Chain A
Amino acid sequence: MGMTMTQKILADHAGLESVKAGQLIKAKLDMVLGNDVTTPVAIKEFKAAGFDKVFDKDKVSIVLDHFTPNKDIKSAEHCKMCREFAGVKDVTNFYDVGEMGVEHALLPEKGLVAPGEVIIGADSHTCTYGAVGAFSTGVGSTDMAAGMATGEAWFKVPSALKFNLTGKPAKWISGKDVILHIIGMIGVDGALYKSMEFGGDGLKYLSIDDRLTMANMAIEAGGKNGIFEVDDVTKAYLDERVDREYKIYTADSDAEYDAVYDIDLSALKPTVAFPHLPENTKTIDEVGEVKLDQCVIGSCTNGRLEDLEKAAEIFKGKHVAKNIRAIIIPATQKIYREAMKEGLFDIFMDAGCVISTPTCGPCLGGHMGILAKGERAISTSNRNFVGRMGHPESEVYLASPVVAAASAIKGYICGPDEI
């Protein structure tokens, strides 16, 4: 029996000819990632177990992005702990305020992840890097500590769901609509313990930014990882960023999948996930009247340049509705600068939006846009759980940047066609 793309990458990193779904393996790691919330717990574990050095100073990334610039004294203490650890251990890829970005936008941008690599991160959205054909998955702080110490992690080899993408998406349809559609279809545990493998003729219509959005939300379907076939779009993206050699894996023709789904991209409509689960999806024609208080465009899901460009297309010459707070968060310093150079900031400011420094901030209810009791936000982020963006009785609606922008202008959830 053949192997899936994920299984082939894991087999190679475990030094095995082949692996089967369900098999427990130890795999070598190409990158171990943590942020300012998860790394402090990992540092404590690392030290308590008596480890002295990280396994490879070039293969550890620590990004201070969640509660930065620090929102309070406790967060500042955590960042200080990370900063000191990175300094003492000589961690090459340490990103502090001024250089940082939202981790899952930053690592691909810096060329720190490449096809065929195995990456773990103490952040559930580490699955994002499957967009460039890597095996990449979220873990906890103790796994991060063990990974930093040994350069290895244990995995249960996942079985897989195959998503065969066909057709050309309509103008305003983006990766966010595709992945929300899929999560709505299979549910928040539809891919539990499994890999989600994306391919097909429709892939060529999805940009790297679209794919990063989709792989990012594999975890919202319970997936262990989401992974894309590597094509010319991927290679063009990597040519500008990755110098080292990498290996491109393809699934065997007789690879086994638990299920194969055909997704016709041309049939998709703008899609919104209602509170309080990403699976509660409705297409834009089904949403009814949902009045809003806040709009957030940013996060590791949709804070990339293409996301900001599309939002600006909608905001251009328009203004947000009265009493709507619209917060734009470019995900990295580079994206921030490029958006500024392209004149997007003028468009956003003329529309009455504010522009934040890169941060995870409001996505997880940290800072920079917390909701009061009874308030509603439309957000381009990835989770709409109870209390995710603030008060337990507030509500978060997940959507693409164009839907979020259009909704901010109208003051209620609507599609870009209404603008």
Chain B
Amino acid sequence: MNAKGKVHKYLDNVDTDVIIPARYLNSSVPSELAAHCMEDIDKDFVNNVKHGDIMVARNNFGCGSSREHAPIAIKASGIGCVIAATFARIFYRNAINIGLPIMECPEAAENINAGDEVEVDFDTGIIKDITNGKEFKAEPFPEFIKEIINKNGLMNSLK
């Protein structure tokens, strides 16, 4: 599986309150959540994001609240993959559980810039920045987690 698209870049400690503010958590409908994704730190995100785009951030992405509405909003906004130097652990679980592809790669988080065209290969973990020609390799997932991802989320893996 691959994803290819334009990069939306953020810095350290992007918390789930800014990914989807609690004032919108009276909804659990993915499209309604996506309409407000990132708005408190990036008002233009929802207008600019295109299907298949890639989100890149630095350390501790998705910290704070356990709201699964955060990865749901990102996925429903069209983002095909989130790359970060590190993820907060609940966000990491939630993304895997709902089938939002994520990749942990400090070098990619450091060297990829906003607006770059990036292609990722989920099977090999290879991240290519087409704009600057650099290539990175993400940490591979443990087998156990690969199995959840391959079955398209936790609930499907229990069936």
Contact = CB atoms under 8 A, between A and B. Distances in A.
Interface of A: 24, 37-38, 40-41, 44-46, 48-50, 66-67, 71-72, 74-75, 78, 122-124, 126, 138-143, 145-146, 149-150, 154, 188-189, 192-193, 219, 222, 224, 277, 364-366, 370, 383, 385-388, 392
Contact of B94 (A142, A366, A370): A142
26 contacts: A37-B67, A37-B69, A38-B66, A45-B155, A49-B159, A66-B25, A74-B26, A75-B26, A78-B26, A140-B90, A141-B94, A142-B94, A142-B155, A143-B93, A154-B144, A189-B59, A189-B86, A219-B64, A222-B60, A364-B22, A364-B25, A385-B64, A386-B18, A387-B21, A388-B22, A392-B21
Contact of B28 (A78, A124, A365): A78
Given A44-B28, A49-B155, A189-B13, A366 B23 contact: yes
Contacts of B25: 37, 66-67, 364, 366
Contact of B88 (A49, A126, A145, A189): A189
A38 B94 CA distance: 12
Contacts of A192: 60, 86, 88-89
Interface residues of B, number: 41
Contacts of A141: 68, 94
A44 B27 CA distance: 13
Contacts of A67: 25-26
A143 B94 CA distance: 8
A68 B78 CA distance: 32
Contacts of A383: 15, 17, 64-65
Interface of B: 13, 15, 17-18, 21-23, 25-28, 40-41, 59-60, 63-69, 71-72, 86, 88-90, 93-94, 97-98, 142, 144-145, 153-156, 158-159
Contacts of B159: 49-50
A143 B22 contact: no
B29 to A, nearest CB: 9
Nearest to B59: A189
Nearest to B155: A49
A15 B90 CA distance: 24
Contact of B68 (A48, A142, A149, A386): A142
Nearest to B96: A142
B40 A387 contact: yes
Contacts of B153: 142
Given A49-B156, A138-B66, A140-B71, 10 more contacts: A49-B155, A123-B66, A142-B98, A150-B158, A189-B88, A222-B60, A364-B25, A366-B23, A366-B25, A387-B18
Given A67-B26, A74-B26, A75-B26, A142 B154 contact: yes
Nearest to A189: B60
Q: Can you list the 5 inter-chain pairs with the closest CB atoms, starting with the nearest?
A: A140-B94, A74-B26, A140-B68, A142-B97, A49-B155
Nearest to B39: A392
Given A24-B144, A38-B66, A41-B68, A222 B89 contact: yes
B31 to A, nearest CB: 14
Contacts of B40: 386-387, 392
Contacts of A149: 158
Contacts of A145: 155
